Chains A and B, each alone.
Chain A
Amino acid sequence: MTIPLTTTGTAGSTGTGQAAPTGRRRRRNPVTPYLLLLPAVVALLAGLGYPVYWQVVTSLQKFGLAQQFGQPPEWVGLANYARIFSSEDLWAVVVRSIAFCLVNAFVTVAIGVAFALLMRAVHPVVKVVVQVALLLAWAMPMVAAVIVFRWLFDARTGVVNYLLTRLGFDGMQGYAWFSQPLTFFVVASLVIVWMSVPFVALSAFAGLTQVSDEVLEAARIDGASPVQILWHILLPLIRPVLSIVLLLQIIWDLRVFAQIRLLQDYGAPVGSTNLLGNFIYELGIGRQDFAGAAAVSIFVLALTVLLSWPYVRSLMKEEAAS
């Protein structure tokens, strides 16, 4: 759930191939495992289970001002969904979120793979330099990263406008990046891509190190050009890694909220820069329309579960094999 795992978090097991749990444990009291699970399950139910339940119930009720003051809620079936999903506002946000998510996910994966191929080709010292740069970018707390980019793109004293002006783009002097939706999303995408590329690059690189040198040598002897080797050998061999990484990026970029929220503080047109998370925030916290916010939240959760399915299945396969 909750914490945007965008950069630091990835789901995955640690060591692999450990011994399977020993069968002889089966003799022991069958109550023990349930007792061991109890604290974690209680925490999950309190922190996540109840909120999900509340959201399902609230999305089916009328939750207006009267209910805020203690009136019993009124069941309205799917009326909240009908109300929210027939509004053009929501569809504009959905389309914008999906476009933003897909563009960022594909750009991130493309740059990440380019980094991985580069790390394979360069001198070992350069490789370490690249890895250190990637790790530092990955480690940056999200809020600090967004605020640093806000400073880099400051209209008057920002270094980006200075460099662009020096390069001959005179129009960029004092350019206000955050007041236009398009340039707003350019900066937001730059932050997200900058933060997300390290994970993709290092994962793809780990995949590339599995490709044996003999295979490549054989291809070279057979006269394959570097481009052919890339398209017909390297990329197909790391395709499993790439598809999982791309899927995770799509899931993570669909939930982008904080970066947008932070950048909106500087005079951005809120209505035309909101993504799904921001829309929910505005609806729920801003306008106190809890029923509508709950309905959109359920939509986001359902979409996430749907998208996560292939990823979870691949992890379960690994779990069954270990």
Chain B
Amino acid sequence: MSTATLQSRAPLAPKRQLTAAGVRRRIGRVLLDLLGILAALVWLFPVYWMVLSAFTPNARLRTTTPQFFPVHATLSNFSGVLEGTSFLSSLRMSLMITGLTVVLVLVFAFLAALAISRFRFRGRTSFVLAILFIQMLPAEGLFIAQYRMMSQLGLLNSVIGISVLYTAAVIPFTVWMLRGFVAGVPAELEEAGMVDGLSRVGAFLRITLPLLAPGLVASGVYAFLQAWNEFTVALVILQSESSYTLPIWLRSFLAASINQGVNWGQVMAASTLLAVPVIVFFLFVQGRMTSGLVSGAVKG
């Protein structure tokens, strides 16, 4: 073979390869996009099905051929749940327990976070180590003792009893989360405010607290989500129907009707009502929770 042909072919061959590879790559991209959309749809489907069923008349849900799109949308399932069941009294219970937990957690965890991020003191490392371990402890390894304790104190079925348990359960993670926020506000800022004539309390209220607001909101939302969704401890501690929180109520509402034909429309409407506030609040704090976890691991 002569050098001439070699020279003339050399630039051609890679070019043809490149375009073929380019086409292959483009087809690959489109296939991946389709796969991505398919995966997203599969993951969305349960949520979609819950909302769709909530708006579908129950008579249509009882047929063996499901409908995949809303054609006979109705609000009757929602009005049935709100008027015909004890949903609202459980909602009141859930709101009281959640509210009390959020307040207690915010105050207690904030003070503890101040202590560990603004002071060096004996026992500080042990405290941090303890809360990290405590937050890993499963409810399933403690609920028998918590049940006995509350029953001896006469606090089964009470708002106070379960709120204390929830507060203790949520504090470790919120202290850990707030610690980062408090450390992020340099103490010098506060001191500068005092040099400019503010009192210590004034400097704290007007300078530090506003800067900590995002951290307090995130912690409050986290405490809300935990208390609102909690099932295991509530199942053990709240045994009388009048003290059910929404998750316990939802379970008993479904279990009560399982043998005589479930009203799935109402069950899904109730599930939707339970999930909507959670989804809204969750989107607030999600970013913080993932980035927090991986930041340490990424840096290795």
Contact = CB atoms under 8 A, between A and B. Distances in A.
Tell me whether A and B are bound partners: yes
Interface of A: 1-5, 8-16, 18-26, 28, 30, 32-34, 36-37, 39-41, 43-44, 46-48, 50-52, 54-55, 58, 115, 118-119, 121-123, 126-127, 129-130, 132-145, 147-152, 154, 156-157, 159, 162, 194, 197-199, 202-203, 206-207, 210, 240-241, 243-245, 251, 254-255, 257-258, 261-262, 265-266, 276-277, 280-281, 284-285, 290, 293-294, 297-298, 300-301, 304-305, 308, 311-312, 314-319, 322
Among all A-B residue pairs, the 5 with the closest Cβ atoms: A47-B168, A277-B140, A12-B292, A51-B145, A12-B293
A43 to B, nearest CB: 5
B180 interface: yes
A150 B253 CA distance: 14
Interface residues of B, number: 126
B176 A39 contact: no
B275 A52 contact: no
A139 B274 CA distance: 11
A288 to B, nearest CB: 10
Given A26-B120, A130-B43, A206-B290, 19 more contacts: A11-B135, A12-B176, A12-B296, A14-B292, A15-B180, A18-B183, A18-B184, A26-B119, A33-B116, A37-B112, A39-B108, A136-B279, A137-B46, A142-B247, A151-B50, A277-B140, A298-B141, A304-B138, A314-B296
Interface of B: 29, 32-33, 35-37, 39-41, 43-44, 46-47, 49-50, 53, 61-66, 104, 107-109, 111-112, 114-121, 124, 127-129, 131-149, 164-173, 175-177, 179-181, 183-184, 186-188, 215, 218, 222, 225-233, 235-236, 247, 250-251, 254-255, 258, 262, 264, 267-268, 271-272, 274-275, 278-279, 282-283, 286, 288-300
A4 B145 contact: no
Given A21-B119, A36-B114, A2 B169 contact: yes
Contacts of A290: 144, 148
A207 to B, nearest CB: 6
Contact of A1 (B35, B41, B138, B300): B138
9 contacts: A8-B225, A21-B120, A142-B229, A154-B262, A154-B264, A255-B141, A312-B136, A316-B132, A317-B296
Contacts of B289: 8-10, 12
A312 B115 contact: no
Given A130-B36, A130-B40, A255 B138 contact: yes
A25 B118 contact: yes
A127 B36 CA distance: 8
A34 B169 CA distance: 21
B109 to A, nearest CB: 6
A162 B67 CA distance: 11
Nearest to B171: A40
Contacts of B128: 316, 319
Nearest to A264: B255
Contact of B278 (A139, A258, A285): A139
Contact of A21 (B118, B132, B144, B299): B118
B204 to A, nearest CB: 13
Contacts of B283: 135, 139
Contacts of B262: 154
A143 B132 contact: no
Contacts of A28: 119
B233 A3 contact: yes
Given A40-B112, A148-B271, A157-B66, A2 B218 contact: no
Contacts of A276: 140
A162 B144 contact: no
Contacts of B183: 15, 18-21, 322
Nearest to B256: A265
A123 B144 contact: no
Contacts of A1: 134-139, 142, 168-169, 172
A47 B167 contact: yes
A14 B177 contact: yes
A138 B46 CA distance: 12
A226 B226 CA distance: 41
A206 to B, nearest CB: 5
Contact of B169 (A3, A241, A262, A308): A3
Contacts of B140: 255, 257, 276-277, 280-281, 297, 300
A308 B108 CA distance: 25
A240 B300 contact: yes
B120 A162 contact: no
Residue in A16, A52, A123, A285 with the greatest tally of chain B CB atoms within 10 Å: A16
A137 B43 contact: yes
Nearest to A10: B293
Contacts of B33: 122-123, 126
Contacts of A317: 296
B144 A11 contact: no
A143 B274 contact: yes
Contacts of A18: 180, 183-184
